[in-house]
Amino acid sequence: MTGTDSGSASVQHVGTDAWTPSSWRSKPIKQPVDYENPAHVQKAVAKLTRLPPIVTANEIWKLRASLRDVALGKAFLLQGGDCAELFDYCQADAIDSKIKLLLQMSLVLIWGANKPVVRIARMAGQYAKPRSSPTETVDGKTMPSFRGDILNGYPADEREIDPDRLVQAYFHSAATLNYVRAQLSSGIADLHRPLDWNLGHVRDPDLQTRYTKIVESISESLRFMRTVGADTAGQLQTVDLFTSHEGLLLEYEAAMTRQLRHPPNRFTSDADAHSGSVQEDAIDDSDPTGSYNTSAHFLWIGDRTRQPDHAHVEYFRGIENPIGIKVGPTTPAEDLVQLLDVVNPNKEIGKVTLITRYGEGRVEELLPVHIEAVKKSGHIVVWQCDPMHGNTRSTTSGIKTRSFASIFKELSLSLSIHSSLGSFLGGVHLELTGDAVTECTGGSVGLLDEDLGLRYETFCDPRLNEKQALELAFLVAGHQRGKRPSVIAQM
């Protein structure tokens, strides 16, 4: 099969040969990188393999246990961040605003779902982008496509692939996560402090009332918990925030893969620890060590690189981290089940998150087929909706955008479809930023196509700004809340 694109007919033989962090090299690969100087790449890779892990096996298992809870309906997953993270975003203000936004959205979602929320940032490593064409035209000039800061730079004179960027990616990732950890432990997420919800932009009086009521209800619950001293475990002082990125650049991912000892008690989630129950999945416990991707807690396979017999799936099948797979209009249901069998042969609950992204116009036709196929296969996955990537459009002047209404429509349809089929939506996956950009239209800020030029800053796909992202959380929470009697939320 090496070097060719083969169809799903050969898939029954996939995933049975011995796995190593570099076994993907013998498979055909999508989105390959033609480095001009292999010795230069080798030097960068050698450096990466000597550097310490960015995340630990313990943290990876903590997330894995939390995602098991999500798969079983005991928690909800919020994942969000930039489409293309730049090395330049490694700055205090940009990181702070993203942490605060994810925290506020998660509070709203806790209120809505009445479940704990697991937070994963698309941050501290989201530096590689798949592209549909090797070249692009910017301001009338055709040049090699921007493939993310880990490979080349956005400015026209930095489009050449530079292997030193692999090492720069490591240091930007480590510096970002170092600051996130420092801020969390210094109280940036301390819920004893009042949060600034800033709803002044909501012009519609009905919406303003609805959102204000939600904020009051959240603030009231927090006050109540403080008053009764419910914060015995310090849960109000800080929160967990995990990191993630698309595992696209396998040279980097393989170099960051380490054989580590499994942590003790790795099969027990927080919920299990409280209830005294222990996971009964058929996890292979014969080897005290495993292969961990230590560059992020969670990695996902993109829509363009998920062919069951190709390199990316081969790499992903061997790592201990919880993983995601993007699922879209071009995913045949049979491929989906084969993929799950390859990357998760023991059917471990919540090991795989299926990130569905069909677009508002196709979700009703496609999602039910995928839900039924997975149900029949016996895999228990996290179903997460990415309402961004199927809803990209161009304005008449050629600007790439997404409308808030389409994003919410795909999300609310996904919630309804899951519940009508006896399944449930476990999470959302969003492209967002804590800055006041103008990249997506609509929402209470009322952005129109002609406003997009005001602060259009993305280097890849359009992101929700802070107000739009928070509003989406309000709407999702309202949708979830509308489906059940009111109960006291768990912070």
Residue 303 binding target from ligand PEP, Co ion, none, CB below 5 to 8 Å by type: ligand PEP
The minimum distance between CB 324 and Co ion, in angstroms, equals 13
Choose between 130 and 368: whose C-beta lies nearer to ligand PEP: 130
Choose between 80 and 443: whose C-beta lies nearer to Co ion: 80
The minimum distance between CB 387 and ligand PEP, in angstroms, equals 11
For residue 387, the one-letter residue type is P
Choose between 116 and 302: whose C-beta lies nearer to ligand PEP: 302
Choose between 53 and 130: whose C-beta lies nearer to ligand PEP: 130
Q: Using the rule CB under 5 A, is 85 a contact of Co ion?
A: no
Residue 302 binding target from ligand PEP, Co ion, none, CB below 5 to 8 Å by type: ligand PEP
Residue 148 binding target from Co ion, ligand PEP, none, CB below 5 to 8 Å by type: none
Choose between 340 and 460: whose C-beta lies nearer to Co ion: 460
The minimum distance between CB 386 and Co ion, in angstroms, equals 9
Helix axes 404-420 and 466-481, enclosed angle (nearest 10): 30
Exposure string over 261-290, b if 16+ CB within 10 A, otherwise e = ebeeebbbbbbbeeeeeebeeeeeeeeeeb
The minimum distance between CB 221 and Co ion, in angstroms, equals 34
Choose between 80 and 478: whose C-beta lies nearer to ligand PEP: 80
Q: Using the rule CB under 5 A, is 461 a contact of Co ion?
A: yes
**Other CB atoms closer than 10 Å to residue 423's CB: what's the count?**
18
Q: Which helix (H) or strand (E) holds 355?
A: strand 352-356
Say if residues 76 and 441 touch (Cβ distance below 8 Å): no
Q: In this structure, what token pair is assigned to residue 362?
A: 């196709």
Instruction: Fill in the DSSP letter of residue 9.
Output: G
Which residue of 57, 83, 407, 470 would you call a contact of Co ion, by CB under 5 A? 83
Q: Name the residue among 109, 123, 117 with its Cα closest to residue 463.
A: 123
Cα separation, 488 vs 129, in Å, equals 42
Residue 253 binding target from Co ion, ligand PEP, none, CB below 5 to 8 Å by type: none
Choose between 57 and 128: whose C-beta lies nearer to ligand PEP: 128
Q: Which helix (H) or strand (E) holds 39?
A: helix 38-50
The minimum distance between CB 389 and ligand PEP, in angstroms, equals 4
Residue 326 binding target from Co ion, ligand PEP, none, CB below 5 to 8 Å by type: ligand PEP
User: Please, which residues bridge with residue 260 across strands?
Assistant: 290
Say if residues 459 and 88 touch (Cβ distance below 8 Å): no
DSSP output for 391-407? -EEE-TT--EEEBHHHH
For residue 123, the one-letter residue type is M
253, HSE (Cβ side, Cα atoms, 13 Å): 35
Residue nearest to ligand PEP (CB): 302
Residue 81 binding target from Co ion, ligand PEP, none, CB below 5 to 8 Å by type: none
Q: Name the residue among 214, 114, 218 with its Cα closest to residue 480.
A: 114
Choose between 64 and 389: whose C-beta lies nearer to ligand PEP: 389
User: Residues interacting with ligand PEP, by CB under 6 A?
Assistant: 83, 130, 302-303, 326, 357, 389, 461
Residue 439 binding target from ligand PEP, Co ion, none, CB below 5 to 8 Å by type: none
Residue 466 binding target from Co ion, ligand PEP, none, CB below 5 to 8 Å by type: none
Instruction: Fill in the DSSP letter of residue 357.
Output: -
Cα separation, 146 vs 130, in Å, equals 9
CA 240 to chain centroid, in Å, comes to 15
Choose between 119 and 357: whose C-beta lies nearer to ligand PEP: 357
The minimum distance between CB 248 and ligand PEP, in angstroms, equals 9
Residue 130 binding target from ligand PEP, Co ion, none, CB below 5 to 8 Å by type: ligand PEP
The minimum distance between CB 435 and Co ion, in angstroms, equals 17
The minimum distance between CB 89 and Co ion, in angstroms, equals 15
**Other CB atoms closer than 10 Å to residue 72's CB: what's the count?**
17
Give residue for tokens 């059940």. 484
Cα separation, 347 vs 157, in Å, equals 48
Choose between 267 and 358: whose C-beta lies nearer to ligand PEP: 358
Q: Using the rule CB under 5 A, is 102 a contact of Co ion?
A: no
DSSP output for 64-75? HHHHHHHHTTSS
Q: Which residues bind Co ion (CB under 5 A)?
A: 83, 461
